[in-house]
């Protein structure tokens, strides 16, 4: 009760200033430092875990965390699911060490997905893991404690869209009809509820990396009052980074821009219609099969090579790679996913220098590969698709002083021509995943 009153007070004070606050948002010094940290980190683990994992996709391919909506399960029936959710094999130390072995620097986990179920101890709601499941423990708290121990930052994914709360009204494009909710509700009460849960997440778990919003796309006409929510977050934790998966150009108050299952600027999924790439730190998220939540049927795993190449291309755009796993209802990460993560970690052990701490390279990623650039100016050319032994790429902005293979340090044969930079990479020097060249050129220092 005390906490709810505190939240109401805080929201009151935030909303009275918010009209002026977020549109002219000036990130704090801490926030700016965290943005740098975020860009240096380059690789994170996305975790979609909720009571939907019990149904494991229901034997369908497709996004398992949407099963409530896909199968039109009324709230009254879906509410039985938490009583089957008992992840006795959940070991946060194991999760975090898998992420670390994969070379990941942060974890972003679902605190609440669209089904409205809180995976943390929420005082404002009874619909949470502590009160509704036989497990009865706050898994986010357990994970955060372990992240702190092992030096990994934790972000919370929080769905603005809610298929469970009655005050999420008017309804958006999803969660209509079948849920059994009354045809009325108070939108402002819903926002208060959401902001109170956010306050809980920002006050009960120590310092967090940030909030990863999702779901605004459910209804564009709604008055989301982002200024109030963003001001609340930045007041509670000025260093926390806000991003929102609304698939549009970032709004004032957001600290990073994200792209779903597409590289920045690409639009194979149909989400990224504006094509806007902002100057904010960037992040691309990706699934290992076709689902975010645990899907027992979907064995269509992306090969390690493809995932690494996507990560490298993302880095070439200056974007982080947030790779998803959907843990099983017993609390274990699928063994297939663990194998993939470990394999990526082994690659990063050898080649991480060309990814971590870099910024987008001087050449835009293309069919042939990508470039990344270290702060001391070193350019890494990542050749990931080469037919034959010769490759013409656009010229670098400055004259090359030296070009060597990252592996072994042998000189690379190259020619700077009027048409671009011509590289000769003999077959025996070519790597299956990524042939990396280390280039030094004059005046390329980023600092
Ligand atoms: O609907 C969600 C989906 O379940 C998942 O959480 C992804 C992750 O980027 N985002 C939404 C779709 O845009």
Per-residue pLDDT tens digits for 349-383? 999 999 999 999 999 999 999 999 999 999 999 99
CA atoms within 13 A on the CB side of 377: 14
Tell me how far apart the terminal alpha carbons of the chain are, to the nearest angstrom. 50
Nearest ligand 1 atom to the CA of 66 is 4
Any idea which of 36-45, 201-210, 260-269, 367-376 has the lowest mean pLDDT?
A: 260-269
Phi, psi of 118 (to 5 degrees): -85, 125
Q: Are 174 and 69 in contact (CB under 8 A)?
A: yes
| Cis amide bond preceding 170, omega within 30 | yes
Asked if residue 17 has pLDDT above 50, the reply is no
DSSP state of 2: H
Query: What is the C-alpha separation between 139 and 92, in angstroms, rounded?
Result: 8
Residue 166 CB neighbours (<10 A): 16
Asked if residue 16 has pLDDT above 70, the reply is no
By most ligand atoms within 8 Å of CB, the mutation choice from 48, 52, 53, 63 for ligand 1 is 63
**pTM across the whole model:** 0.95
Report CA(273)–ligand 1 centroid distance (Å).
16
DSSP E strand boundaries for 27-162: 43-47, 106-112, 153-159
Asked if residue 119 has pLDDT above 70, the reply is yes
Nearest ligand 1 atom to the CA of 157 is 6
Calculate the average pLDDT of the chain: 94
Q: What is the mean pLDDT of residues 158-174?
A: 98
Query: What is the C-alpha separation between 57 and 296, in angstroms, rounded?
Result: 7
Report CA(216)–ligand 1 centroid distance (Å).
11
- Angle in degrees, CA 55, 59, 65, rounded to 5: 45
Q: What is the mean pLDDT of residues 7-12?
A: 41
CA distances from 140 to 32, 121, 401, 419, 429 (A): 26, 8, 50, 54, 46
Asked if residue 19 has pLDDT above 50, the reply is no
Report CA(264)–ligand 1 centroid distance (Å).
17
Report CA(97)–ligand 1 centroid distance (Å).
25
The binding-site residues of ligand 1, defined as CB within 6 angstroms of any ligand atom, are: 63, 65-66, 214, 245, 260, 285, 292
Any idea which of 20-24, 122-126, 236-240, 327-331 has the lowest mean pLDDT?
A: 20-24
Residue 384 CB neighbours (<10 A): 23
């Amino acid at each position: 009760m005390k906490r709810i009153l505190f939240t109401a007070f805080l929201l009151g004070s935030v909303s009275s200033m918010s009209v002026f606050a977020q549109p002219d948002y000036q990130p704090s010094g801490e926030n700016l430092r965290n943005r740098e940290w975020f860009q240096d980190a380059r690789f994170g683990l996305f975790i979609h875990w909720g009571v939907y994992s019990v149904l494991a996709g229901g034997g369908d391919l497709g996004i398992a965390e949407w099963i409530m909506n896909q199968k039109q399960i009324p709230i009254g029936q879906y509410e039985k699911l938490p009583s089957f959710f008992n992840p006795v094999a959940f070991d946060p130390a194991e999760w975090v060490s898998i992420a670390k072995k994969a070379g990941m620097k942060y974890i972003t986990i679902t605190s609440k997905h669209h089904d409205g179920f809180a995976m943390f101890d929420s005082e404002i709601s009874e619909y949470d893991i502590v009160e509704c499941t036989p497990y009865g423990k706050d898994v986010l708290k357990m994970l955060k404690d372990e992240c702190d121990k092992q030096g990994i930052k934790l972000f919370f994914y929080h769905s603005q869209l809610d298929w469970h709360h009655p005050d999420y009204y008017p309804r958006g494009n999803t969660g209509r009809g079948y849920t059994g909710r009354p045809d009325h509700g108070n939108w402002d009460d819903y926002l208060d509820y959401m902001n109170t849960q956010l306050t809980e997440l920002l006050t009960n778990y120590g310092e967090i990396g940030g909030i990863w919003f999702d779901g605004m796309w459910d209804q564009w006409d709604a008055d989301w009052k982002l200024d109030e929510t963003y001001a609340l977050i930045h007041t509670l934790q000025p260093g926390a980074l806000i991003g929102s998966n609304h698939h549009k150009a970032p709004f004032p108050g957001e600290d990073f821009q994200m792209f779903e299952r597409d590289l920045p600027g690409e639009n194979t999924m149909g989400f990224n219609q504006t094509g806007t790439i902002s100057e904010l730190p960037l992040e691309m998220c990706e699934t290992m099969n076709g689902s975010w939540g645990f899907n027992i049927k979907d064995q269509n795993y992306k090969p390690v090579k493809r995932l690494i190449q996507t990560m490298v291309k993302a880095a070439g755009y200056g974007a982080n790679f947030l790779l998803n796993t959907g843990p099983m209802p017993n609390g274990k990460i699928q063994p297939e996913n663990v194998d993939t993560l470990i394999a990526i970690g082994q690659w990063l052990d050898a080649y991480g220098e060309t990814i971590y701490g870099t910024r987008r390279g001087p050449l835009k990623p293309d069919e042939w590969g990508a470039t990344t650039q270290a702060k001391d100016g070193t350019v890494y050319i990542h050749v990931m698709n080469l037919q034959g032994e010769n490759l013409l790429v656009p010229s670098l902005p400055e004259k090359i002083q030296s070009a060597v293979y990252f592996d072994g340090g042998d000189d690379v044969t190259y020619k700077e021509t009027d048409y671009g930079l011509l590289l000769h990479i003999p077959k025996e020097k070519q790597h299956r995943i990524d042939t990396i060249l280390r280039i030094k050129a004059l005046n390329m220092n980023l600092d």
